[in-house]
Structure 1
Amino acid sequence: MSIRLKLAVSFVALTLAGTAFAQASAGKPERIRGEIVSLSGDTLQVHRRSGDTVTIEVDQKAGVNAVKKIELADIKAGSYVGAAAMPGPDGKLTAKEVVVFPEAARGTGEGHYAWDLGANSTMTNANVDTVVQGTSGRDLKLSYKGGSNTINVPVNVPVVTLIPATRADLTTGKKVFVVATPDKNGSYDGHVIVVEKDGVAPPM
């Protein structure tokens, strides 16, 4: 499997798990954010932001990616992005982070749905129709099947793309984002891992 295809498969799993999160219950995928405590064999220990430590069983098929920082100026008309955003007082969406998908992953998780970076946060996976320079960053006009919206991206918001990573990158202290399914014994089955690399932590 090529690197581009591996990334595409990982993104598909990540985003489909994300859409399911809105109806999260036992057996439904969850998003786990935190810091790696240890990796022993296939068992990953993660200290979550919420304060608890969880056990995640990671099989050999699980996708492992890292993030690479890019510039806001790298987002062009025609880019396919995933933008987590929050509504402002005027109702306008303001980005909390933006992931620019590799071309091989175009169409992944297309749509606009609830996210969990804060109250009323959303995720929009869509094509960038236009980019307009503003006084507070750039406005991205996004279109997806069934709709469109405009998201303001401030200059200080993390903008990243994903790059391949391996289990060797899953070391103690690294920030991590994991899509996993709760198991009956209280642990999780990990499907997708996005790990910090070269000091760039996953912002999603």
Structure 2
Amino acid sequence: MKLSPFRFACALAAPLLLTTALLALATLAHAADAPPARIRGTIEAVAGDQLTIKSNQGEDLAVTMNADTTVRAITLARIADIQPGRYIGATAVPQADGTLKALEVHVFPPEMAGAGDGHRPWDLAPNSSMTNGVVGELVTSNGRMITIKYKGGEQKVAIPDDMPVVNIEAGDRSLLTPGVHVMVFAVKNDDGTFTARSISAGKDGIKPPM
């Protein structure tokens, strides 16, 4: 059967359109699955949904907020707040005996229990890791040692007395003013700017230690 010129053109175009659609879907899936960029720095300017952040490496970064961006407050906590049953996150480095030494601990509110559960590499310091889970055993003799339990495993973590401990609390955009220290989880866009997924903002001059 002879195809009309129109049908012949459609037949030729169909595979190209399908390929283009599949590539677009693959690009979107890659963007969704890409690990977020972590930005640590200080807010320099705020203009509507746009933030200018001076990173700790000295870069001026453009960060856009949208309706899905969450803002949390970082406030001071105490080592005494690290108790069995609390859900925490600990950035730590390995010790010779196989345990970890905490560089910081952040205490989650009850409604955020389960957030980021697990043990994974982190970028705060060389060889550092992040462990989010429930505090199990707490030993206070000869220092303080805790067990952090998460789905599929646990880690023993030594807690130095001078280690920063902070709370993660609910916040809003009123926290985001010039001079505030922040840690941002963001997606890097093709033009080099960033879109923030979440922003942790230090209250009262606190620098998020994560």
Scaled to the shorter chain, the TM-score interval is: 0.7 to 0.9
Worse-superposed segment, 59-68 or 34-43: 59-68
Structure 2 Cα separation of the partners of residues 162 and 108 of structure 1: 12
Work out whether 1:87 is the aligned partner of 2:94: yes
- 1:70 alignment counterpart: 77
Change (3 A) 1:132 1:27: closer
Report whether the alignment pairs 1:97 with 2:104.
yes
Task: Name whichever structure is richer in strand by fraction.
Answer: 1
Q: How far is 1:88 from its partner?
A: 2.6
- Normalised to the residue count of structure 1, the TM-score between the two structures is 0.83
Q: What corresponds to 1:49 in structure 2? A: 56
Matched with 1:192 is 198
Indicate if the aligned counterparts of 2:109 and 2:169 stay in contact, CA closer than 8 A: no
Deviating beyond 2 angstroms after TM superposition, the runs of 4 or more aligned structure 1 residues are 88-92
Aligned to 1:38: 45
Larger radius of gyration: 2
1:174 maps to: 180
| Residue type of the alignment partner of 2:107 | V
Q: How high is the sequence identity, in percent, across the aligned residues?
A: 39
8 Å contact from structure 1 (residues 27, 182) kept in 2: no
Matched, 1:139 2:167: no
1:27: Cα distance to partner?
5.1
Equivalent residue for 1:163? Answer: 169
CA shift, 1:143, in A, is 1.3
Deviation at 1:158, TM superposition (A): 1.0
Distance in 2 of aligned mates of 1:97 and 1:76? 15
Q: Which amino acid aligns with 1:167?
A: R
Q: Alpha-carbon deviations, 1:119-141, whole Å to 9, x = none?
A: 110011111111111333x1111
CA RMSD of superposed structures (Å): 1.7
Encode CA deviations 1:57-90: one digit per residue, 9 max, x unaligned.
1113311111111111111111111111011344
Q: Residues of 1 paired with 2:201 and 2:52: CA distance?
A: 13
| Cα distance in 2, alignment partners of residues 105 and 169 from structure 1 | 20
Preserved contact between residue 103 and residue 163 of structure 2 (Cα < 8 Å) = yes
Give the AA of the match of 1:64: V
Higher relative CO (Cα under 8 Å, sequence separation at least 6) belongs to: 1
Q: Write the distance in 2 (CA, Å) between the matches of 1:118 and 1:104.
A: 29
Hey, what does 1:125 align to over in structure 2? 132
Which segment is superposed worse, 78-87 or 127-136? 127-136
TM-score by length of 2: 0.80
Q: How many residues align?
A: 179
Instruction: Kindly provide the amino acid, as one letter, of the partner of residue 58 in structure 1.
Output: M
